[in-house]
Structure 1
Amino acid sequence: MTVYTTGSGPVRGRRATAESGIVAVLGIPYAAPPFGAGRFRAPRPAAAWGGVRDCTAFGPVAPQSAELPGAPTWSPGDEDILTLNIWTPEGARDALPVIVWIHGGSYVFGSSAQPDFDGAALAGQGLVVVTLNYRLGFEGFGHVPAADGEDICPDNRGLLDQIAALEWVRDNIAAFGGDPGRVTVAGQSSGATAVACLMVTERARGLFHRAVAHSAVNACASSAAAARTTAEVAAEAGVSPSRAGLLSASPEELVAASDRVVDAYRRDPRSGQRHYDPAVYGPVVDGDTLRTDPLTAIAEGAGREVDLMVCHATEEYWLLDAVGGSAKITTDEQLSSFAADFGLSAEFVDGYRALMPGAPVLDVFLAVYGDLLFAEYSSRLAGSHGRAGGTAYLARFDRRSGGQGQPVRAWHCADVPFAFGTLDEESVHFLIGGPPGPADRVLSARMTRAWTDFAATGDPGWPPLGTSAGAVMVWGAEEGAEAPAEAFRELWRTAGYPLLEP
């Protein structure tokens, strides 16, 4: 098996499958473990090693309470969490385009080891694929106040980890057959918003050249909101909301305390916006890593040199309802309270009702909230980038017929295994409505090719927004089926669009 030389030492991987011709090199440290003296600090360089490091298994996942199908779980005591994984054609000598994937999970769960993020199929198209772990929850995005004389523990440590991984890619990816001058950073959900943040932060300038954002989420915290979350979590953990107090709580205790804060919001319908989907962590507008929220910064022209491809699903929020991640809004009174909490008028909600004749209240809520969080935000990222002088492509995922011919939802996360070419992973069958059929394989091949072509040339296969031929690609729609996405978008254009805080 090929040995690859990195700045920290040589590594050896394994064949992804016996017949694939793709090598997977897994669990490579790109930074030092962010605990002990490094806890709540910016990432530090990984220590060098002697001899060839065996990199045939994923590294430990970041502290979290989630247990995801087919993926490893966090074990307290696991510290070497800042690792990345590479899939590359065996014996690659050409400078191949590179995709760096940032997983989603509301900034509190997920990892690069999820089966739907296996990079072998994309690498088989002539790419080098990189996936990475980064700090989550309080460890990655919690605000740590500094007292006089203390070194500052920066906000947005999870974003700083991602930047450290991109710096590692810049310095080392050529050894794996990748071109450091053709790096595309990609992500989905909170990972897509992280991509948008990276586009507009000076710290990441020049580390990547194209960006893919699937279902970016509308949530960016002010420093004041982040400080309030710290106070709530510290109180639940039974420590002071100071640096010393927070350091005295173990990662496991802060995960548990964060979960209790979330649960309290879920149980209290009078708790405002956080009641509906309490994601309490996210990027912080700290005036350093983030000057302002990414949508505003992109509209002002930040990151215009980066080509951007955006996709969202047409029924995003139905997944969150299916897995119990959202409030159940089933009465007109609850729907009116929801609208008031987000500053949406009754006329606006009636506009959704008119476009969804006969739909139950729950479906109207899921449609409005899904567009508020994901679809409209993603569409605005693409449109703002194009208007500010960047090149932007927009797509919608609207597959509503499963492999067995049964109706399925075009919901959050369902597009990811199509783009990665991982439809046969059993753990994704819940997302896509069962085993894939022939039409699904055709759709997956088209989406994988779009990613590959975009990473290689900047052209995914349809015209960019803002040109005379500009169009929105719709993935998987049945011929003749109507998806009134533009009609819903028109409602947002007239109603105004609130930027949210986690």
Structure 2
Amino acid sequence: MGVSVARTTVATKTGEVGGTLTNGLRVTLGIPYAAPPFGAARFREPQPAAPWDGVRDGTRFGPVAPQSAELPGAPAWRPGDEDVLTLNVWAPADAPGPLPVLFFLHGGAYTFGSSAQPDHDGAALARAGLVVVSCNYRVGFEGFGHVPGFPDNRGLLDQIAALEWVREHITAFGGDPAQVTLAGQSAGAGAVVCLMSSRRAAGLFRRAIVHSVPDATFSPDLAAGLARLVAEAAGVAPTAEGLLSASPQALVEASDRVVARYAADPDSGPLHYDTVIYGPVLDGALLTADPLDALAAGAGRGVDLLACHTTEEYRLMHQVGTMPPATTEEDLARFAAHWELPADLVDRYRTLMPGAPVLDVYLALAGDGFFAAHTARLAGAHARAGGRTRLSRFDRRRTRPDGTPVRAWHAADTPFALGTLDAAGVDFLTGGPADADDHALSRRMIRAWAAFATGGDPGWEPLDGATGAPVHVWAVPADRQEGPAPAHALWHDVRAVLRL
């Protein structure tokens, strides 16, 4: 099929922006939703974007936020790039009326990632009848590092500013500001549940889609302690004046040094196993309670929720080497002790996994505790509090020609749901080129997301908060429905404890 490309212009309240008209979609990239968060605006709440004259170029993604990651097919951050608070819109060009809006937040451990990643392209979902929005937001120290006297959770505040932009501008792109679904994967999903639980974001979205929600919120003391370590690594005082004197590049490099020290020291505590030093802070302002506790108390009850996790979340972290291996009983016991897990939890996993190698038990514990069981627990809490909730599990499995298994691991589900199976770098996540069964699964997931964003029903019954069923299982060649994963009951009253 040939690609037809023409120019198109959309008038927003801050100025005109030019994009492309490609095969029936209007694609507009790099639109400022807030001012550059540097100079006098650094470490502050996002400020309004300045209006512009003429037609702004909207054919390229905006610069990514300060980070050291270089992801396949996506631009890297360059020191000096400042206009990082931009968003992108994919919209059907000839919609018959206002369409539901799906706003996708990228993941990346609250430390890296951007909306320019090829696997986050919004075209497939737009072709399913949605107006799709994605954005860049501050990550790492700029977005989540503690600075005395300045707001915590600046990355979340950026996301709220982007949602407010949608409320004010999306009608110009054919979207309905009263029908917004906020979606995210991993850290993006964590951000979604934070905003569900925050009064500051109330009314900005009607539905939420979360894939692989991390159990990762930081106390103020923990955030301040990590900021002191980063300041020390940067050679500045852990004060507002000292941290402002350090360039964004200096804080990125200092953060990487702190992470490297934790990764190298097996006696350094829980951060040796999960070297994520930034995340949402329970600051008492934007976040007054942990999202799980808030949802259980009824926060976000009016927001429909579609949750999903993968079967073997932490297999990805093992594969890429960001989690140290555990191959002996001593390794396993040390891991459980550092995370302050109950003494009998490992034994209970062994009962569910008879004869499994230590590594398999270790990765199952980590994957469930940090992502899978936590996602299911959030869904159950939302349902018991009166919310309309659907739960699913991504369990697509294949075997490579050499006989090795393709794992249903963390982030493998995202390109299926976004319809980006052929994007650069995706074959690593999915275990090789997509086949016909994979493309069929992707179409099913796209239809489910589109149906949920349109009417709140992805195609299966709501979750029973008492039983944890039904769980829709995404699989090839066909989906199925099951009850909750047996291991998840073991986490009912268990949370991993993160300390310095």
TM-score, normalised relative to structure 1: 0.95
- Aligned residue number for residue 4 of structure 2: none
Q: Secondary structure at the match of 1:380?
A: helix
Q: CA separation of 1:452/1:238 partners in 2, compared to 1, >3 Å: closer, same or farther? A: same
The separation in 2 between residues aligned to 1:274 and 1:162, in whole angstroms, is 27
Q: CA separation of 1:22/1:464 partners in 2, compared to 1, >3 Å: closer, same or farther? A: same
Bigger drift between 349-358 and 437-446 goes to: 349-358
Q: Secondary structure at the match of 1:283?
A: coil
Which of 251, 254, 257 is the matching residue for 1:254?
251
Q: Which amino acid aligns with 2:372?
A: A
Which of 19, 25, 32 is the matching residue for 1:29?
32
The separation in 1 between residues aligned to 2:499 and 2:415, in whole angstroms, is 29
- Aligned residue number for residue 490 of structure 1: 489
Unpaired runs of 5+ residues, structure 1, are 147-152
Find out whether 1:39 has 2:42 as its counterpart. yes
Which of 61, 85, 88 is the matching residue for 2:88?
85
Is 2:10–2:173's contact at 8 Å kept on the other side of the alignment? yes
What is the CA distance between 1:60 and its match in structure 2? Answer: 0.2
- Aligned residue number for residue 20 of structure 2: 14
Is 1:403–1:439's contact at 8 Å kept on the other side of the alignment? no
Deviation string 1:2-36 (CA, Å, 9 cap, x unpaired) is: 321111101111134xxx31121000000000000
Is 2:229–2:258's contact at 8 Å kept on the other side of the alignment? yes
Q: CA separation of 1:480/1:226 partners in 2, compared to 1, >3 Å: closer, same or farther? A: closer
Q: Secondary structure at the match of 1:60?
A: coil
Find out whether 1:317 has 2:323 as its counterpart. no
The separation in 2 between residues aligned to 1:87 and 1:138, in whole angstroms, is 30
- Aligned residue number for residue 332 of structure 2: 335
Q: Secondary structure at the match of 1:221?
A: coil
What is the CA distance between 1:108 and its match in structure 2? Answer: 0.5
Which of 131, 141, 155 is the matching residue for 2:144?
141
Is 2:441–2:474's contact at 8 Å kept on the other side of the alignment? yes
- Aligned residue number for residue 431 of structure 1: 429
The separation in 2 between residues aligned to 1:93 and 1:462, in whole angstroms, is 28
Q: CA separation of 1:480/1:406 partners in 2, compared to 1, >3 Å: closer, same or farther? A: farther
Deviation string 1:71-112 (CA, Å, 9 cap, x unpaired) is: 110000000000000000113351000000110000000000
- Aligned residue number for residue 465 of structure 1: 463
Deviation string 1:146-172 (CA, Å, 9 cap, x unpaired) is: 3xxxxxx10000000000000000000
- Aligned residue number for residue 150 of structure 1: none
The separation in 1 between residues aligned to 2:81 and 2:96, in whole angstroms, is 35
Is 1:402–1:436's contact at 8 Å kept on the other side of the alignment? no
Bigger drift between 399-408 and 192-201 goes to: 399-408
Which of 48, 52, 60 is the matching residue for 2:51?
48
Q: CA separation of 1:409/1:477 partners in 2, compared to 1, >3 Å: closer, same or farther? A: same
- Aligned residue number for residue 421 of structure 1: 419
Q: Which amino acid aligns with 1:461?
A: G
Deviation string 1:405-438 (CA, Å, 9 cap, x unpaired) is: 9631000000000000111113100000111111
Q: Secondary structure at the match of 2:346?
A: helix
Is 1:403–1:440's contact at 8 Å kept on the other side of the alignment? no
TM-score, normalised relative to structure 2: 0.95
Which of 368, 378, 381 is the matching residue for 1:381?
378
Q: CA separation of 1:332/1:188 partners in 2, compared to 1, >3 Å: closer, same or farther? A: same
Q: Which amino acid aligns with 1:199?
A: M
Q: CA separation of 1:492/1:37 partners in 2, compared to 1, >3 Å: closer, same or farther? A: same
Q: CA separation of 1:402/1:180 partners in 2, compared to 1, >3 Å: closer, same or farther? A: farther
Segments of 4+ moved more than 4 angstroms? 402-406, 467-470, 477-485, 499-502
Q: Secondary structure at the match of 1:194?
A: helix
The separation in 1 between residues aligned to 2:498 and 2:63, in whole angstroms, is 32
Q: Secondary structure at the match of 2:116?
A: coil
What is the CA distance between 1:480 and its match in structure 2? Answer: 11
Q: Secondary structure at the match of 1:441?
A: helix
Find out whether 1:68 has 2:71 as its counterpart. yes
Find out whether 1:367 has 2:364 as its counterpart. yes
Q: Secondary structure at the match of 1:312?
A: strand
Deviation string 1:128-184 (CA, Å, 9 cap, x unpaired) is: 0000000000100011113xxxxxx10000000000000000000000000000000
Q: Which amino acid aligns with 1:416?
A: T
The separation in 2 between residues aligned to 1:66 and 1:381, in whole angstroms, is 30
The separation in 2 between residues aligned to 1:299 and 1:383, in whole angstroms, is 8
Which of 445, 453, 461 is the matching residue for 2:443?
445
Which of 387, 390, 394 is the matching residue for 2:391?
394
- Aligned residue number for residue 267 of structure 1: 264
Deviation string 1:377-424 (CA, Å, 9 cap, x unpaired) is: 100110000000111110000011168796310000000000001111
Percent identity over paired residues: 60
Count of matched residue positions in the alignment of Structure 1 and Structure 2 = 492
What is the CA distance between 1:367 and its match in structure 2? Answer: 0.6
The separation in 1 between residues aligned to 2:383 and 2:483, in whole angstroms, is 23
Please list, as runs of the form range in 1=range in 2, the aligned pairs for 1:106-117 lying within 5 A after superposition: 106-117=109-120
Find out whether 1:2 has 2:8 as its counterpart. yes
Q: Secondary structure at the match of 2:448?
A: helix
- Aligned residue number for residue 178 of structure 2: 181
Q: CA separation of 1:501/1:176 partners in 2, compared to 1, >3 Å: closer, same or farther? A: farther
CA RMSD, 1 decimal: 2.0
Is 2:206–2:302's contact at 8 Å kept on the other side of the alignment? yes
The separation in 1 between residues aligned to 2:198 and 2:111, in whole angstroms, is 22
Q: CA separation of 1:310/1:366 partners in 2, compared to 1, >3 Å: closer, same or farther? A: same
Which of 112, 118, 123 is the matching residue for 1:120?
123
Unpaired runs of 5+ residues, structure 2, are 1-6
What is the CA distance between 1:118 and its match in structure 2? Answer: 0.4
The separation in 1 between residues aligned to 2:138 and 2:278, in whole angstroms, is 12
Q: Secondary structure at the match of 1:259?
A: helix
Q: Secondary structure at the match of 1:109?
A: coil
